Structures are given as structure tokens and as C-alpha cells.
Chains A and B, each alone.
Chain A
Amino acid sequence: MNSLRYEAPSSLGDAIALLAGASGTSRILAGGTDIIVQMETDLIEPDLLIDIKKIPELRGIAIENGAFKVGAGVTGMELTDHEAFCKAWPGVVDGVKLIGSMQIKGRATMGGNLCNASPAADSVPALIAARAIARIAGSNGTRDVPVENIPIGPGKTSLDKGEIIVSFLFPSRPAHSGDAYLRMTPRTEMDIAVVGVGVNITLDAGGICTAARVSLGAVAPTPLLVAEAGAALMGSRLDAPALDKLAQAAGAACRPIDDKRGTKEYRVKVAEVLAKRTALLALERARQNT
């Protein structure tokens, strides 16, 4: 066991300075539900842990100009207990609700779920479908990056060594918008996605789809934004032909592995079926959201 140092800075500037000044391996500690397991099982042996939970910018849920800003260190329970956020982004909440048990959600954060960079991370496809932006701070200042550009492979992100995700910025929500996330697992709780699908749509007053984003999880090394799948819904009422095109595009985008949770063929088939179901749930919500 090497010598580990723990710091809990109370400002973002202090956290960035600690990261920039660190030699050896540094890790950000948010909810700790992945990192503490990795430390316990000797997968990682960090020299410095920076606990970000005392930094105000990472903790709050705010509405700015009609759009939500959620701190990267907000816990799953804080988010799923936030009535206005649940009303605006039920699909993002679907994903967060599937992150582990109630105990895990008491600690786990969306920032951690994204930075852990599991291909099966449950909150990420819904964030991508929602067009969420990650606000990232580092010693060179702040930059805004679409969530889909953060994971670059299993356990790997595009963040530079000294960078921290501060918050997630959601776009303002037009009327008749709805989002949803569904995942397939062999059991209903406490499992890892075989396939996850996030869908986010906006309809016009006549019920025609004017915006659509579709993201798939657990079918490739990273969660995917599938432009063709979104395009399949555009201009439609999400009727049967449009849903068939969606399913086809979703299946075609999959680049899955075989593992104990499912074969490649099974994952592709499930992605097709689940994409339709998720789109129909998003449609139902969009119709209710006037």
C-alpha cells in the first residue's frame, strides 16, 4: 500500500490547484461507489483523493433562463427527489433511478457515472439523448463538452488529467417534449444493462416529431449517439413505419461484445425492440407535456 492523501477542498479553484500540483495518481472522489470498490480490490492505488462534495458549484440543482443546471456531485437521491427536474426530464430520472440500490443512489452521482466510463452506465444514454452538456473546469479555464464526447472507451474519458466535471447543462424544454430511458436486464433491480436506450423527442402542436435524439448503451465500447435513429423519427407521428426505421437504425449502430449478459446477436435484437418501446414511452410523455 502506497501512501494515500485525502483532501476535501471547499472551492473549485483549490481542487484544480490540487490536481495540477499532484504527482502520481490522483482520483476525484464523488459518491465513491465505483472508486472505493476499485481501491478495496486493488484495481487502483491512488496517491491523492480529492473529495469534491464540499465544492458549492458541484452540489446544487438550479434553473437558469428556463434551463436546468445540475452539479456533477448531486447524488441520485437528490436528483430523483427534485420534483421540477423529474417533471422536465423524466427519462434522465429513469436512468438515474436504475443506478444501483437506494443505498447506492444515496451516494452515486451523474458525474461519477459518466467519468467511470462504463459502456453500460445507466444515466449516460439519457443524458446524451437530452443533449446535456458537461461543463468542465481545469487549470486552463472552463470548457463545455457534449456528454457524448466524454467517454472514449471502457473506463476512459476525454478529460485531461487536471480537469473536473463541474455540472451538467440541460437545454430549455419546449412544450410537447418527452424523454425516456429503458434498459434490458435479466432481473428488474441491481443489475447491469444488457442494452440501454435513451430517447428524447419534441412534437409540434399537430403531433409531428420535430426533434429526436436516440442514444444506446451497453452495445459498443462507449454509449452511442445514433443520428440515423433520431432521423428515423423526424417528421413522423412515431407510427409503425417510423418505429421500424428506428429499430433498424438502432440495430445497425450496435457494435456489441459477447459476454455473460448476452451474445452479440441478442444485444442487437434487444436494441431494436427496446428502441421502439423507449420511443413510445417518450411519445406518451411528450403528449402529456403541454
Chain B
Amino acid sequence: MSRKYHVTTTVNGDEYEYLCEPQQTLLDALRDALMLTGTKEGCATGDCGACTVMVDDTMICSCLMLAVEADGKKIETIEGMAQGEELHPLQRNFLELNGSQCGICTPGILIAARALLDRNPDPTETEVRYWLAGNLCRCTGYDKIIRSVLAAGKEMRGA
């Protein structure tokens, strides 16, 4: 039995503490210890992007980071995207333009898309497609996702 590690971290602006075993992933800790189940497990090998979160302003796959590594880090998950009842423009455009179907890829795609728009408020369609290459969707055929991101970007620019 491995020893347990005590981790203090900030998730969506709130301080959390948890105990984890060294082989547990950040995804495990978010879902099972903190009950933040908006972040999804898809492949668990870093291929599908369903578990995408921000760690210290960098987007990563939470299945490929150990829970113990999160000590002292700033984490942002899908639960922090809406402001109370008010949806983020990305969320609203995904709803309006059917960018989400079964929904399992959606939290990861929203986090990734927000990271893109933070860096590049006016991406081309090609830039959106390359940026989201690490987020797999088996429902939409991607087109509606790309349109939703572009529409949200346009709205956020006030264009």
C-alpha cells in the first residue's frame, strides 16, 4: 500500500484539500475526491481531450497529470465556466448551434476553446481546427463545434 499524499490546491478560485495515492491522476482526484464530475474520462491515455482542464493557465489532460502534482497549483475546470446562472458565450453558442450532442466531449472542448480565445480572440477556422485536434467528438462531425467556437469568438469581440 502506497502512502497517502496531502495536496492543497485551488480549483475555480476555491481552496481544496485532498489525500491521494501517488499513482492517482488529477482526473481521479477531481472526480472522486472533489466530486467535480464535469471533467470527463474518455480514453485515459491523453488521446481524446475529454479530461482537459487548465493548470496554472496551461491546458492539459488531467488523466496525464498525477493528483499529487497539483499541490500549490491553480486549476480551472468546466464547473467554473458559467458565472452563476449566466452561461459563458461559448456555452451559449454551443447550445444554440448544437455544438454538443451526447455531451461527453463538451466540457473538455469548452475549456480548450476558451484557452484558444484567450490567446487568440479572432482565430481562423483552420486555427480552431488545429487547436482542437486533441479533442475527439464522435457525434457532431466537428463542424457544429467549429461554428460554435467561431460564433462565440465573434460575440466576445463584439463584432
Question: Which of chain A's residues have a CB closer than 8 A to the CB of B25?
Answer: 36, 40
Known: A100-B134, A190-B47. A6 touches B5 (CB 8 A): yes
A5 with B2: in contact, given A32-B65, A103-B61 (CB under 8 Å)? Answer: yes
Assembled-state Cα–Cα distance A3/B4 (Å): 11
| A5-B2, A75-B58 known; A102 vs B131 contact (CB < 8 Å) | yes
Indicate with 1 or 0, residue by residue over A65-86, a CB within 8 angstroms of chain B CB atoms.
Answer: 0000000000101000000000
Q: Kindly supply a per-residue 1/0 record for chain B positions 84-121, scoring 1 wherever the CB is within 8 Å of any chain A CB and 0 otherwise.
A: 00000000000000000000000000001001000000
Residues of B within 8 A of A39 (CB): 23
Nearest-CB distance from A188 to chain B (Å)? 8
B52 with A103: CB separation less than 8 A: yes
- If over half of B's interface residues share one DSSP class (helix, strand or loop), that class is named, otherwise mixed; here it is mixed
A1 adjacent to chain B (CB < 8 Å): yes
Contact check, B134 vs A102: say whether CB atoms are below 8 A apart. Answer: yes
Contact B64 A33 (CB under 8 A): yes
Q: Is the C-beta of A104 less than 8 angstroms from some C-beta in chain B? A: yes
| Contact flag A189-B130 (CB < 8 Å), given A3-B1, A37-B46, A101-B49 | yes
Chain B residues within 8 Å of A37, by CB:
45-46, 64
Scan A94-133; emit 1 where CB is below 8 A from any B CB, else 0.
Answer: 0000001111101100000000000000000000000000
Please judge, given known A-B contacts A4-B23, A6-B5, A103-B59, whether A190 and B133 are in contact too, CB under 8 Å: yes
Most buried by A among B23, B45, B46, B135: B46
Any B CB within 8 A of the CB of A49: yes
CB-contact partner of B61 in A3, A8, A53, A104, under 8 A: A104
Residue of B2, B22, B65, B68 with highest tally of chain A CB at under 10 A:
B22
Q: Distance (Å) between the CB of A179 and the closest chain B CB?
A: 22
Give chain A interface residues in 23-41, CB to chain B under 8 Å.
Answer: 29, 31-33, 36-37, 39-41
B contact residues around A6 at 8 Å (CB): 5, 22, 66, 68
For B119, the closest partner residue in chain A by CB is A81
Report the bound CA distance from A103 to B47 in whole Å. Answer: 9
**Selected contact of B49 from candidates A3, A40, A103, CB within 8 Å:** A103
A103 to B68, CA, bound (A): 19
Q: Which residues of A contact B33 (CB under 8 A)?
A: none
With A32-B64, A101-B133: A51-B46 Cβ-Cβ less than 8 Å = no
- Tally of contacts, chain A with chain B, CB under 8 A: 89
* Chain A residues, Cβ within 8 Å of B69: 8, 29, 32, 51, 53
In this complex, the interface size class of chain A, counting residues with CB under 8 Å from chain B, is 20 to 34
* B44 contacts partner chain A, Cβ-Cβ < 8 Å: yes
Write out the residue numbers on chain A whose beta carbons fall within 8 Å of the beta carbon of B63: 36, 40
Chain A residues whose CB sits within 8 angstroms of the CB of B55 once the complex forms: 106
Per the bound structure, the CA–CA distance linking A36 and B62 in Å amounts to 11
Which A residue's beta carbon lies closest to that of B115?
A102
Structural contact, B66 and A190, CB atoms closer than 8 A: no
Any chain A CB within 8 A of the CB of B3? yes
A75-B58, A77-B58 known; A103 and B46 CB under 8 Å? Answer: yes
**Contact B66–A32 (Cβ < 8 Å):** yes
Asked if B81 CB lies within 8 Å of chain A CBs, one says no
* Contacting pair B58 A104 (CB below 8 A): no
Does B151 interact with chain A (Cβ within 8 Å)? Answer: no
- Look across to chain B and name the residue whose beta carbon is closest to the beta carbon of A40: B44
Per-residue A-contact encoding for B11-27, CB less than 8 Å = 1, 0 else? 00000000001110100
Which residues from chain A contact B115 at a C-beta distance below 8 Å?
102
Does B36 make an interface contact (CB < 8 A)? no
Q: Is the CB of B66 within 8 A of A29?
A: yes
Q: Is the CB of A102 within 8 A of B59?
A: yes
How many Å lie between the Cα of A36 and that of B22 in the bound state?
11
Query: 23 A-B pairs, CB-CB below 8 angstroms?
Result: A3-B1, A5-B2, A6-B22, A33-B64, A36-B46, A36-B66, A37-B46, A37-B64, A40-B45, A49-B66, A53-B69, A75-B58, A100-B46, A101-B46, A102-B59, A103-B46, A103-B49, A103-B60, A103-B112, A103-B134, A104-B61, A189-B130, A189-B133
Top 5 closest A-B pairs, CB basis?
A101-B134, A189-B133, A6-B22, A106-B58, A106-B60
